[in-house]
Structure 1
Amino acid sequence: MKHPETSETSETSGTSERIGRIGSIGPGRPVSAAEPAAVMPRPHRIVEVDALRGFALCGIFLANVLVMAGIEGRGGDGPSASGLDQAAHWLVMMLVQTKFYLLFSFLFGYSTTLQMDSAERDGAPFAPRMLRRLLGLFVLGALHAVLLYPGDILTTYAVLGLVLFAARTVDPARMWRAALRVYGAVAALYLLLGAAVALVDTGGGDEGLSASTAELTAAYRGGPADVVRANMDAWTDILAGLLMMGGMVVAAFLAGFVAGRRRLLTGTGTPDRVARLRRICGWGLAVGLPGGVLMAAGTVGPLGARWEIPMFIVGMLTAPALSGAYACGLLLWFTTPRGARLAARLAPAGRMALTNYLVQSLVMALVFTGYGAALYGRVGAAAVLGGALLFYGCQLLFSARLMERHRLGPVERLLRTVTLWGRPTPRA
């Protein structure tokens, strides 16, 4: 998730210059050269980073809503699912699942370098700020997991962020090699696990799965106490998932930190950067799309249950390639006039991504659990995903309005207060 630190950097790129009013001293009001230096605004945010974060917010929502609706990981679409539901679920598994949390993790690492720069500009030590920030994320994440959505990512970032904190002084070249080694070790373990599962006959487990799904459905359709109890019971599975995905998150943290130190997300319109982005995008699609197809075929169909975990692992290992293709493709698009307009629409949601992420979970809980309509397991994937996209569009509009008037989202302001251990300064 993004961190609500002050403006992320004073660097701007071609895209940032075209939409430089985002993060300026006021909506639509340029800085006058006649204004005294004492009231100059904080440095411009990097619009591309905010826009990528806003884009990742959509992918995270699409992946999470299938879980909250009782579709993903709770027994699948079921025999009553329509062809449209199956197709929608299949596309999300192919293009979305496991791709966007890696993009968020990369941006978390990138933003950490910007927060270090912010602390240096303020003449403040970075370590206390970072540790308070991680503590704040952990508390928010724990409350989020218990009350709203057990698949919370904030606690994971808070715990694994300590690795990034410890490695913050490492040379970027060494850190990049460390990221590759972490990914290599995780890949080797995953491949061994996938091979072992593929060799084991998984038949006969459907009855246990059906009973577990029925219990979970009853809990999420029950009262608030039942929902909280089900969320807490799910923590053992969440911890197992953390162990499984933790290495990938750390690798993405480190890669993002290296990119931040080298400012790889700015100046993307220069010829050498354009050529590099095109290469990464091409290779990412060539590797990531087949992996996504195998993941969808194993988890949604037509492959059998024996191949579900092995194909999911293949999809996880190729997910960084597709995540990179998404990021590079968008960065290339942002250098065009039409792409700059898209970035301007995505960036406000990215600036308050933490607030938007938690609001998404609140709305999902009200719709699908006993907190509200209790539609858990009652709505098909196509309708669920269509509703999620509609709500995300509303978030884009609301975020744009709010960011015209405020520098921080409400939860970002709270976390920033904890990070700086004081009240954030008002918008200039």
Structure 2
Amino acid sequence: MASTAPRLDVVDALRGFAIVSIMLLHNIEHFDLYYVVPDLPAWLVVLDKIIWDCAFFLFGGKSYAIFALLFGLTFHLQSQRRAGRDEDFRVRYGWRLLILFGFGLLNSMFYHGDILTIYAVIGLCLLPVARMRDGVVLALAAALMLQPYAWLVLADAMRHPDAKIGDPVSWQYFARMNAYLTGDSLVRVWPGNLTNGKLAVIHWSWENGRIFQIMSLFMLGMLAGRRGLFEAVPASLRFWRRTLAGAALLFIPLFAIKTMLPDLVASAAVRRPLGTIIASWSNVAFMLVLVACFVLLYQGGALTRALRVLAPLGRMSLTSYFTQSIIGSFIYYGFGLGLYKVTGATVCLLIGVLLAALQCAFCAWWLRRHAQGPLERLWHRATWISARQPA
């Protein structure tokens, strides 16, 4: 199926939506420098908690899931374009992922929570499944979405429900971060983020089921591309309407179970892996609600024109993601303005909204003058180095 402008437009806008939501979450977290500002007025403390809870309910664990879904879709579109020229894109794509890994390491110097390096490594899973039949890929994606490792841990915990479990391994790495993130030395932040910070994120991603979830979403995104689910045609719109209804019905009990789990399960050993499974499924269900709503609302009218503002941001997602790490770390970390000391979730949300608006305006301005964002252009040229570059 050849790519068309309407589909690419909605995908770019959806990717821009994910970038904005990531920006908002990162800001209220002080880019993972967790700090509670003392002596705030009582009303502001209440408002901060409401904003924090609402932001994580809407976007926590969902924004990156949208990104993962679109990552697999992009792989399909790029592979298909080269297949039309009787070329196998997989080797070139492996090289492309290696370049992305390099971008991720640079991004990690400023923000240790970088997802690019993880996507670059996990993205290799697409290479062996690219030629498999839809049914086989769907079965693999479903098996991964079930969180197989967490089920093994749960089975062991069911046999030993009274076993004492320690804190997650990632916590010991997170506990060391304030020592260099609150300091005034950028030279200390860089090695700290690339060593301690990366280990924290890798362990956290494994402990929370992100690794299996991302692999599954990559494959599902590839299947969505094969099936043309982002085309503005009646069949795809019917699919998203059914997905919206099914995902909403699935999310409600999953979220209720996740919320009540501490009261339902007394054993900590059982509760931890079960919580990982339920939270993962709940996040994916709500992510599908967000994606379905976005696609259905993008079908014409004033709201479509409003959502289309996000498309330039989505087309420059690599540049936008990279620059928000640099700007955000300067705003909140000790080597920069150090605003983590005085900003709660409410003020951080306003900062995030302002930064997102500025990024949208910059991307629109840039793309009126250039075909691609600066980092996107660099990634494209490096991908096709020593080869005939496609338009």
Q: Same fold (TM over 0.5)?
A: yes
Offset from partner CA, 1:104-127 (integer Å, 9 cap, x none): 101000111110122234554412
1:284 maps to what in 2?
Answer: 247
Q: 2:293 aligns with which of 306, 329, 351?
A: 329
Q: Following superposition of structure 1 onto structure 2, how do residues 225-236 of structure 1 map, counting pairs within 5 Å?
A: 225-231=187-193, 232-236=195-199
CA contact (8 A) 1:182 1:251 kept: yes
Distance 1:112 1:154, change over 3 A: same
Unaligned runs of 5+ in 1: 1-7, 17-44
Q: Following superposition of structure 1 onto structure 2, how do residues 252-401 of structure 1 map, counting pairs within 5 Å?
A: 252-268=217-233, 270=234, 272-288=235-251, 291=254, 311=275, 314-401=278-365
Once the two structures are TM-superposed, the CA of residue 419 in structure 1 deviates from its matched residue by 0.9
Q: Does structure 1 residue 114 correspond to structure 2 residue 71?
A: no
Q: Following superposition of structure 1 onto structure 2, how do residues 72-87 of structure 1 map, counting pairs within 5 Å?
A: 74=34, 82-87=45-50
CA contact (8 A) 2:12 2:314 kept: yes
Offset from partner CA, 1:59-99 (integer Å, 9 cap, x none): 2223333444456xx47788967011111111122111111
1:151 maps to what in 2?
Answer: 113
**How many percent identity over aligned positions?**
26
Aligned equivalents of 1:67, 1:340: Cα separation in 2? 30
1:249 maps to what in 2?
Answer: 214
Distance 1:137 1:364, change over 3 A: same
- Partner-residue secondary structure (3-state), 1:234: helix
1:142 maps to what in 2?
Answer: 105
Once the two structures are TM-superposed, the CA of residue 283 in structure 1 deviates from its matched residue by 2.4
Offset from partner CA, 1:381-407 (integer Å, 9 cap, x none): 121122112211221121112112211
Q: Which sits farther off after the overlay, 335-344 or 94-103? A: 335-344
2:95 maps to what in 1?
Answer: 132
Which of the pair is proportionally richer in helix? 2
Once the two structures are TM-superposed, the CA of residue 279 in structure 1 deviates from its matched residue by 2.0
Aligned equivalents of 1:297, 1:96: Cα separation in 2? 20
Aligned equivalents of 2:323, 2:317: Cα separation in 1? 10
Distance 1:163 1:138, change over 3 A: same
TM-score w.r.t. the length of structure 1 is: 0.77
- Partner-residue secondary structure (3-state), 2:242: helix
Aligned equivalents of 1:123, 1:59: Cα separation in 2? 39
CA contact (8 A) 1:160 1:250 kept: yes
CA contact (8 A) 2:150 2:273 kept: no
CA contact (8 A) 2:254 2:282 kept: yes
Once the two structures are TM-superposed, the CA of residue 345 in structure 1 deviates from its matched residue by 0.9
Distance 1:287 1:225, change over 3 A: same
Once the two structures are TM-superposed, the CA of residue 380 in structure 1 deviates from its matched residue by 0.7
Offset from partner CA, 1:356-402 (integer Å, 9 cap, x none): 00011111111111331123354211211221122112211211121
Q: Does structure 1 residue 104 correspond to structure 2 residue 85?
A: no
TM-score w.r.t. the length of structure 2 is: 0.84
Unaligned runs of 5+ in 2: none
Aligned equivalents of 2:30, 2:223: Cα separation in 1? 34
2:142 maps to what in 1?
Answer: 180
Q: Which sits farther off after the overlay, 135-144 or 306-315? A: 306-315
Offset from partner CA, 1:139-191 (integer Å, 9 cap, x none): 1111211x111111111111111111121101112111110111124485388
CA contact (8 A) 1:63 1:92 kept: yes
1:60 maps to what in 2?
Answer: 22
Aligned equivalents of 1:359, 1:210: Cα separation in 2? 28
- Partner-residue secondary structure (3-state), 1:376: helix
